[in-house]
Amino acid sequence: MQSFNLTANPEELAEMGDRYSGHPKALQLFAALIRDDTEFQGNVGMFLHQRDWLLIRDIESAIDEMIARLSDSEQTCLGRISVYQTSEYPLSFAGISALLPEVSKYQLKENIIQPLKRRQLLYYDRHLTSYHLHPLVREKGEYLLNQNPEHFRTAHSQAYNYYISIPLKPENGAECEIKLIYCTIINNFVDTVLICQGVASK
């Protein structure tokens, strides 16, 4: 996909900031939309003229537009990693790779993860050395995954296998916390499977 350089004068930048109340997520998402959309070709002024009706609640619409432009493999990745609660637990490259075993690590990093990062749909926190999904993006990923019940079950099973394969390290003093995380993940996985089978967990 072709990307364009963003062009804007100070007044247009100020208007973008005012329109979205300086909301960083909104500004990042719309910047990516303006940059990647052939209609706007990186021109902030054209975006403001064409989209003067946009308000902060329209972040969801912008995310929908971006996801619609993703390749099949990018959508697959976004859907599968939505099974992870990235706001609560760290998500490593190994965790993402575990959900896409059919993709080589090089292809995953260069052709899937990098484009998702570039479009502001996936974030990497250098301090925590982990990836994160914005809750709204994760919700959209869940929707994609739920379109195929088999993919849904497989993704949850792979996530479960990934987490239980991580060795515990009692010497770091966090064994109890890690076990609690495992128990939470396992319980959520079991509940999900039961719901999928039409049986409510007690």
Running DSSP on this structure, what letter comes out for residue 124?
E
What does the pLDDT read at residue 72?
Answer: 93
Give the mean pLDDT of the chain.
76
Report whether pLDDT(84) > 70: yes
Residues in the chain: 202
Beta strands in the chain (DSSP E): 123-125, 130-132
Q: Is the distance from CB of 65 to CB of 52 less than 8 angstroms?
A: no
Q: What are phi and psi of 131, to 5 degrees?
A: -95, 155
Higher pLDDT: 82 or 35? It is: 82
What does the pLDDT read at residue 63?
Answer: 80
Task: Tell me the average pLDDT across 152-178.
Answer: 72
Q: Is the distance from CB of 146 to CB of 121 less than 8 angstroms?
A: no
Q: What is the largest CA-CA distance in the chain?
A: 59
pLDDT digits (tens, 9 = 90+) for 114-141: 999 988 888 888 887 889 887 778 888 9
What does the pLDDT read at residue 187?
Answer: 52
What does the pLDDT read at residue 173?
Answer: 47
pLDDT digits (tens, 9 = 90+) for 9-65: 788 777 776 666 555 666 777 777 788 877 788 888 887 776 655 544 567 777 888
What pTM was estimated for this model as a whole? 0.62
